[in-house]
Amino acid sequence: MALVAFGVREWTGPVAMLGVEIACGVAAGIGRRMGLLALATIPLVASILLVNTFLFPGATDALFRIGPFTATGTGVIAATQATLRVVAFAMSVALFSLTTRTDDLMADLERRGVGRRGTFIIGSAIATIPRMAERAREITDSQRARGLDTEGSPTRRVRGIVPLAGPLIAGALGEVDERTMALESRAFSAPGRRAVLRVLPDSAGQRATRWAVAAGSIVLTAASVSGILRLP
């Protein structure tokens, strides 16, 4: 979905992928959670809209002026298309993370021949942000219980970052050490391929659908980039 959203030009790619992602999210019952995760793109989307609307290079079709900055129609179109691509990418990541358990993904990757180190890196990267967010909430609650004021004016909020950052970084480093020792105690570095005890169901229909979607995405992107496929 992310490949098509970025690869297929103009409006068709991102709009079509957003429609598919929303439909999949609603069908899976995670539409609201996907919407909450989409809020994380607001700072990036705001910068894209402002920069492209007012500073798009070479645009002459002025719409209005705000001080020294001029909004252009070309910039608005470019900003909207870029925003749709970013949101479509974010929704594809949200859909994947909310419908796929990390443990299942790691087990299936290892079953398909991905090395244990590669599997561990992928799993750690996926789980890092939720783990750090949970740890940050725990540290914040602990600091508040000790009388730290983390609410109110922006100045107080900025002051609250310092006592939060120290334990957060120290806890992350300590967790890395603990995970390393735990993996070594389970023969993580032992030579040879490990036996996979849990095999996830994977029917012929699922395999055919995955290959069809992957091949279709590559073909659509290549055709759009090369100019063979011209869509609105």
Check: CB of residue 131 under 8 Å from CB of residue 174. no
Band of the pLDDT at 149, cuts 50, 70, 90? low
Decide if 211 is inside a domain.
Answer: no
Do 118 and 48 lie in a common domain? no
H/E segment holding residue 171? helix 154-185
pLDDT of residue 26: 83
For residue 231, what pLDDT band results from cuts at 50, 70 and 90? low
In a domain, 167, yes or no: yes
Q: Which of 73, 97, 121 is the last residue of a domain?
A: 97
Residue 172's domain comprises 104-185
Instruction: Give the span between the Cα atoms of 68 and 213, in whole angstroms.
Output: 47
Asked, for residue 200, whether it belongs to a domain, the answer is no
* pTM across the whole model: 0.63
- Do 120 and 49 share a structural domain? no
80 and 25 assigned to the same domain = yes
Q: Tell me what pLDDT residue 60 has.
A: 78
Q: Which helix (H) or strand (E) holds 72?
A: strand 69-72
pLDDT tens digit sequence for 21-55: 788 888 878 777 777 777 777 878 888 888 888 88
Residue carrying structure tokens 């334990």: 167
* Same-domain status, 89 and 25: yes
122 and 83 in a single domain? The answer is: no
Tell me how many domains the chain contains. 2
Residue that is last in its domain, among 74, 97, 120? 97
What is the distance between the alpha carbons of residues 70 and 60, in angstroms, rounded to a whole number? Answer: 9
In a domain, 152, yes or no: yes
For tokens 């890092």, the residue is 128
pLDDT, tens digit, 9 for 90 and up, residues 86-115? 888 888 877 887 787 777 777 777 777 777
Same domain (yes/no): 61, 132 = no
181 and 163 co-located in one domain: yes
Kindly state whether residues 64 and 29 are assigned to the same domain. Answer: yes
Write the pLDDT tens digit of every residue in 163-193.
Answer: 666 777 777 777 767 777 776 666 666 666 6
Q: Indicate whether 128 and 91 sit together in one domain.
A: no
Where does a domain end: 97, 124, 156?
Answer: 97
Q: Confirm whether 62 is domain-assigned.
A: yes
Q: Name residues whose C-beta falls within 8 Å of residue 66's C-beta, 6 or more positions apart in sequence.
A: 54
Residues 112 and 172 reside in one and the same domain: yes
Residues 77 and 132 both lie in one domain: no
Tell me, yes or no, whether 78 and 110 share the same domain. no
Task: Tell whether 215 is covered by a domain.
Answer: no
